[in-house]
Structure formats: structure tokens, C-alpha cells
């Protein structure tokens, strides 16, 4: 059992660390383009094994994808963060090129791998990886919904002074500002959250969740890594162990929710084949409108990528 994580930055290294610590795979391969970077991170994680007590081997390589051959799951975290003065289109163009190159190498050496995309902008990078790989949608999807719901659940646990373990929630749509909150599907120990918290406070928590990544950037000067890395690892675990967990993930919708050909977060069953099933919820009119707004935003970014691709063809 081999899992590869491409990108040994904070998110990738955290993902590899969680995978190893939880013994989700026999071998975790960490890949980066910076000389010695992945090797160092992997060695550090391996040297922690006698302290924490785990057997998973972590191996780091610089740009050598042959070492990743026959991986069952590959997590792509590669890409640059948006820098001051960089337009959205600049970020899309740069990261799309990186994700395209990485995906080509991944499918060359692991043609049967399931690919999880974490690179930003998440929805459109998932689109890029899907186009490049040529794999079916159940084998190429993005991590965002688990992170967004984790933030939402953490904020609710804090507000209600309860364990986050007892909070279950679903969010849909694009990653970030246009996400679609679904308080009707949020429960605390089986109790609808609306019975435990007022609408004004709940709305404030939903809004804080939508800008959750930005809050961390303001605090630290860089984007988050512990929660995103752990979220990606949780998806890998569901696949490797065929847990059939119900998670919101970014997937190409093909008629579900009346949407076709756009990559959006939706609840799915995640198991050994990747996405085993897309779950269609019965949304009310307000939720449908929010999802349509999110669809329009993501489609706009996808169209921008298409135009860039045509211009360079």
C-alpha cells in the first residue's frame, strides 16, 4: 500500500505526517521540486515513529516520480500562494501549469491511482487535473468541503461549549466565499442545531466559516496547513480502508442538482473506488439559489482557464 503526496510544503507535509502517524499506508512518498526538501521532511517524520509508535515509512524524493510508481492514492498540494499584486488570472495560470505537469507525471507512473486535489483555486485546479488525467470523475476530485465543515463544526463546538465530535454538518458549493451552508442538515448529537443556537449567531458562524482561510492569513501571514493537511489525509483513509464515509468533496457534477459540467462541493460516499456515489439532497428554494450563485462563480473561473488554455494552444 503506497500513498504519494506531491508538494512538501506545510499542507503536504502535514498530510504525510497524519498518514504516517495513523498508519494509513505502508509507505508514504513525499515529492517536491526543491532539492532535499521532501527528503528532509520525510526523514523528520520517520524519526518521530519510535516516539509516537507507528510503522509507516515516509520517503522523500526531489522530482523523481518513478519512486511514486503504483501509488493507490495521490494527493496534489503543489502550487503557489497568491502574492501581493498577483491577479486571480495570474494565480490560475501559474498553478494550472503546475497541476497539469504534476498530473501528467502521476498518471504516467500510477495510471490506476485515485487523485485528490488540494491546490488552489481548488475547484478549477480539480478541473485541470481531471482534464489532464483523462480519468473518470470518481477518481479525480478535490478536498475543500471537509475543511470547510471542520471549521464550521469547530466554531459551533466553541459557541455551544460541546465536543466537536458530536457535531455533523454538510456544506456545498465552491470553496470559500460562495460556499453554501446547510443549517438544516447540521446536528449536535442528533439534535438540529437550530434548536440550540439563535439564527443571528448561527449566521455569524456561517460567515466566519466562509472567510475562514482569510482569517488565518491575517493572523499568520500565510495560509492554513494543519486542518487542510489532516482533511486530505482523512479522505485518503476513507479510500484506503474502504470506509464508505459520507463527505462533501469537490466533484464534476453531471446532472446532479440540475448542474452539468461544473466542479462543486457535494456530499458523496467515499470508498475504495474513490467516489462511490453522489448524494442528492432535497434543497429548498433558498439553498438552490445559493448553489446556483456558487455554480456561476466557479464556472466563471473555469471559463477563464479555458481561455488561457486556448491562447497557449
Task: Give me the active site residues, please.
Answer: 175
Strand order of the sheet with strand 187-188?
Answer: 167-168, 187-188, 191-192
Question: How large is the angle between the packed helices 285-312 and 88-109, nearest 10 degrees?
Answer: 80
C-alpha cell at 111: 495510471
Binding residue per annotation — 8?
Answer: yes
- d(C-alpha 69, C-alpha 61), whole Å: 12
Is residue 93 packed enough to be buried (19+ CB in 10 Å), middle (13-18) or exposed (0-12)?
Answer: middle
Binding residue per annotation — 184?
Answer: no
Rg (CA), the chain: 19
Binding residue per annotation — 296?
Answer: no
Binding residue per annotation — 118?
Answer: yes
Binding residue per annotation — 40?
Answer: no
Binding residue per annotation — 119?
Answer: yes
Binding residue per annotation — 295?
Answer: no
Binding residue per annotation — 9?
Answer: yes
Binding residue per annotation — 151?
Answer: yes
- d(C-alpha 201, C-alpha 207), whole Å: 10
Known binding-site residues for NAD(+) equal 7-12, 32, 95, 118-120
Known binding-site residues equal 7-12, 32, 82, 88, 95, 118-120, 151
Known binding-site residues for substrate equal 82, 88, 120, 151
Amino acid at each position: 500500500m503506497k500513498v504519494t503526496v506531491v508538494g512538501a510544503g506545510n499542507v503536504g507535509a502535514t498530510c504525510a505526517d497524519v498518514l504516517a502517524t495513523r498508519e494509513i499506508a505502508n509507505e508514504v512518498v513525499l515529492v517536491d521540486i526543491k532539492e532535499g526538501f521532501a527528503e528532509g521532511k520525510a526523514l523528520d517524520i520517520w524519526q518521530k515513529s519510535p516516539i509516537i509508535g507507528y510503522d509507516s515509512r515516509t520517503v522523500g524524493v526531489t522530482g523523481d516520480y518513478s519512486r511514486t510508481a503504483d501509488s493507490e492514492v495521490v494527493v496534489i498540494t503543489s502550487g503557489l500562494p497568491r502574492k501581493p499584486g498577483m491577479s486571480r488570472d495570474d494565480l490560475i495560470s501559474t498553478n494550472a501549469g503546475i497541476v497539469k505537469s504534476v498530473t501528467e507525471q502521476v498518471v504516467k507512473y500510477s495510471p490506476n491511482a485515485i487523485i485528490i486535489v488540494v491546490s488552489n483555486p481548488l475547484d478549477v485546479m480539480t478541473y485541470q487535473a481531471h482534464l489532464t488525467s483523462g480519468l473518470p470523475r470518481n477518481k479525480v476530485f478535490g478536498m475543500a468541503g471537509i475543511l470547510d465543515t471542520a471549521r464550521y463544526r469547530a466554531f459551533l463546538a466553541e459557541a455551544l461549549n460541546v465536543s466537536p465530535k458530536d457535531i455533523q454538518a454538510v456544506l456545498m458549493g465552491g470553496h470559500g466565499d460562495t460556499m453554501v451552508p446547510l443549517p438544516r442538515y447540521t446536528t449536535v448529537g442528533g439534535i438540529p442545531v437550530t434548536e440550540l443556537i439563535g439564527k443571528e449567531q448561527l449566521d455569524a458562524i456561517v460567515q466566519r466559516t466562509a472567510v475562514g482561510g482569510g482569517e488565518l492569513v491575517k493572523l499568520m501571514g500565510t495560509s492554513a496547513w494543519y486542518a487542510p493537511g489532516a482533511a486530505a489525509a482523512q479522505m485518503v483513509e476513507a479510500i484506503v480502508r474502504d470506509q464508505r464515509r459520507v463527505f462533501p468533496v469537490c466533484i464534476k457534477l453531471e446532472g446532479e442538482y440540475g448542474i452539468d459540467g461544473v466542479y462543486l462541493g457535494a456530499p458523496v460516499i467515499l470508498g475504495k473506488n474513490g467516489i462511490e456515489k453522489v448524494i442528492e439532497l432535497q434543497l429548498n428554494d433558498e439553498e438552490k439559489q445559493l448553489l446556483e450563485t456558487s455554480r456561476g462563480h466557479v464556472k466563471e473561473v473555469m471559463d477563464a482557464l479555458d481561455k488561457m488554455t486556448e491562447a497557449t494552444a
